[in-house]
Structure 1
Amino acid sequence: MEQRTWFITGINSGFGRHMSEQLLKRGHKVAGTVRNMNSVDDLKEKYDNLLWVAHLDVTDTTAIYEVVNQAFNELGKIDVIVSNAGYGLFGAAEELTIDQITHEIDTNLLGSIHLIRASLPHLRAQGGGHIIQFSSVAGQTAYPGGSLYHATKWGIEGFCEAVSQEVAPFNISLTIVEPGGARTNFKNHSAKLGEELEVYSITPVYNVRRMLENTSMNPIGDPAKMVKIIINSVDKQLIPKRITLGSDSYNSIHQALLSRLQELESQEELAFSTDFTANE
């Protein structure tokens, strides 16, 4: 595999940590961002010059552009941008506070949008590159209790679909990653719940809440295997536009797409009936 420089947000835990460890072990350079600079001291001590670290909270729009500019200025060419930082906010829509909603959107959606925007001028100037956007099974499906999380994941997928077409002429490719449940300690560190309203205790929202609160259930997905596939995808002749990871993600997305397609096809005659006729 060709040695590359990767820029990854949120390398202190979860997929960002797994990806950084695998890349550094292979001899790649990693430019990583964290909110707590001490959280990756062990990686810095072990890999020294292969690891470049900067402080970044992706809700700080100005800082995103500053850090991306700094990384390119100090490291030169960066081959792969990985938009990974984010978290899950769960609960019925009316159980969430305005501040919770704003922070979720600022982190998952706007943070990812601005990271990609900040990177594009540099990638164009160097003649190309690749962007990996972490989404989720939640970017193609929807469950009660996940409305705001789904809003951010569906939103960033739409953004990336359009941007990938905009930048293809500049030799910039983009991949959306849709993992299912993985053993990244998501429930303890990356999932937040809104204040419980009693009225929702007899609805499906209750089941989602109980599932998230039950830390004894282990997800089926192996994050190390998932990250390996993501890293290796950059070497493929045709880099995939989407990577679905985990049997739970595949099954859920497959069913959701089939259901939407069936509903669409059932309305074909109705849709065509609203066109002007040839002689109008």
Structure 2
Amino acid sequence: MNKAKIFLKKTILSIFNIVYKIQLLRYKKKRKKVLLYTDSRGTEIDSFYKQRNPYFSYIKYLKNYEVVYKFCPHKFTSILDFLDYYNNSDEVFDFVILHCGIVDFAPRPLSSYHSMLETKYSYLVKRNWLQYFLNREDFLCDYEDEKTLQFMTLEFLENKIVPELQKINGLIYVGVNRVLENWDGNYWRKRPSCINQQLVQDQLIMSKVPISIDFCDWSDDDIKKYTVDNVHYNGHGLEHIGEQLYRILTK
């Protein structure tokens, strides 16, 4: 992406964010506060101006709340980034919507694993968690001539991450759907053959936190209807998630 396009993208996104926050000023009464923290699945991605844009997310279903939103703030937006942000925030939230995990759970080539590890290194050192990420040999399938592994092992997730999530009052976890083997959508290449190993970690979190949105019952047709590439949602998929969040919050 050239510099002119990057500048245009940032400018458009800034304008959308300013307009959205001005619209929120219409609401005078005190409202409950929600933190919405997502990876790249939180908004549509098929156009550059839709990425990280609140108008192309499910945030409209939270209009009765004061929402602090963080749409994919990092290249590899991880549950680690969420914990770092949440634990260092001075704000008090009534609800916390966590729509992260696929970056942590999906099998990735070793080169990608090391690139991601480099971006999380200082936080892992600070939390004394780095030992879980060094000298790994829990490889899965090969992908494009590289071994793959998940960024977070099941052991690390259960022993370190889940206890952190269980401390958060009002947490709502948004899960991961399976990936179809015979359909790629608009993704330009095949995904690893072991991609659905990510569902093991996903199900672990949902079994440990009180409120979650589970996509395990999505049929093949649902996945094609709601996603553009087995992972990222189209407008219909985001509306589907927004409606479920609305039902949970209004209960």
TM-score (norm 1): 0.42
> Which structure: larger Rg?
1
